[in-house]
Amino acid sequence: MSKTILVVDDDPHILDVVTFALKKANFTVIEAHNGLQALTLFDHKAPDLILLDIGMPELDGTEVCKQIRQKDTLIPIFFLTAHDEEIDRVLGLELGADDYICKPFSPRELVARIKAIFRRINNTAVTEEKNHKDILSHGLLQLDCSSYQVSWDGQLIDLTATEFALLKTLLLHPGQVFSRNMLMDQAYSPDIIVSDRTIDSHLRRIRKKFLVVAAQPLSTVHGVGYKLNNCQRNG
């Protein structure tokens, strides 16, 4: 079945270029010209992935991302941004975006990244079903790989698909220190290349979410990378 992608951009030329490339790659495309329209289409059309421009009238992409993440923590969101400033890219990742691509961009690269994230999601589902390891746990931390639910001492934590993949990689090897490159290799498809800043932003967001339940499952090993803590109750 063809995947449905919601493309949100107020530039008609960008919409035309992206829509043409995606349809040529056999995706179904829904177009939105502003943030408010995007939210309406998200609620009624249930897309499988969202390509979201940051700079739009009425409601910008960061606010759209924020509102969508309150409803759905797993749908992949890619930011399309004309901004060169690093702060804009980092903000998008902090809000829950899975990746970003800067304008001007290659339609071929965009399609490749989208296919890669769908492959990663599908491969994860197939692997978990094959291995019959739906539930992974370490101390108070538990990951349900069939429903993508994460909990700490029974309290649910909402993570995006990318955040889930990173935490799962660390959970499978508790105590082992992973460099950013190792996390990239384990949690991302081979044809997706992300920056160190992207990895840091996703892990920082995971930590922020666990602070809500007064937990801190991750440790930074300065100059090396990250590892999973013992995940026991403090005190």
pLDDT digits (tens, 9 = 90+) for 122-134: 765 544 444 445 7
% of the chain with per-residue pLDDT over 70: 86
Judged against a pLDDT cut of 80, whether residue 1 lies above it is answered with no
pLDDT digits (tens, 9 = 90+) for 183-229: 887 776 655 556 667 888 889 999 999 999 999 999 998 888 999 98
Ramachandran sector of residue 181 (left: φ over 0; alpha: ψ -120 to 50; beta: rest): alpha
- Distance, in Å, from the CA atom of 123 to the CA atom of 27, rounded to the nearest integer, reads 19
**φ, ψ at 44 (rounded to 5°):** -100, -20
Q: What is the mean pLDDT of residues 53-60?
A: 86
Q: In which band, very low, low, confident or very high, does the pLDDT at 36 lie, cut at 50, 70 and 90?
A: very high
Ranges in the chain annotated CATH 3.40.50.2300: 4-117
Judged against a pLDDT cut of 80, whether residue 86 lies above it is answered with no
Ranges in the chain annotated CATH 1.10.10.10: 133-228
> What was the pLDDT predicted at 195?
66
Q: In which band, very low, low, confident or very high, does the pLDDT at 95 lie, cut at 50, 70 and 90?
A: confident
Is residue 208 within 8 A of residue 214, CB to CB? The reply is no
Measured between alpha carbons, how far is residue 143 from residues 57, 168, 194 in Å?
Answer: 39, 7, 24
DSSP state, residue 23: H
Nearest of 74, 81, 45 to residue 60 by alpha carbon: 81
Judged against a pLDDT cut of 80, whether residue 156 lies above it is answered with yes
Nearest of 89, 22, 17, 93 to residue 55 by alpha carbon: 89
To which residue do tokens 């290349």 refer? Answer: 193
Q: In which band, very low, low, confident or very high, does the pLDDT at 150 lie, cut at 50, 70 and 90?
A: very high
Look at domain 133-228 and name its CATH class: mainly alpha
| Range from 85-89, 148-152, 157-161 carrying the lowest mean pLDDT | 85-89
More confident of the two residues 191 and 7: 7
What does pTM read for this prediction? 0.60
- Indicate if the alpha-carbon torsion angle 164, 170, 172, 178 is positive or negative: positive
Q: In which band, very low, low, confident or very high, does the pLDDT at 235 lie, cut at 50, 70 and 90?
A: very low
% of the chain with per-residue pLDDT over 90: 41
Nearest of 51, 53, 110, 58 to residue 76 by alpha carbon: 51
**Which CATH architecture fits 4-117?**
3-Layer(aba) Sandwich (3.40)
Measured between alpha carbons, how far is residue 131 from residues 122, 137, 141, 163, 233 in Å?
Answer: 14, 15, 20, 21, 30
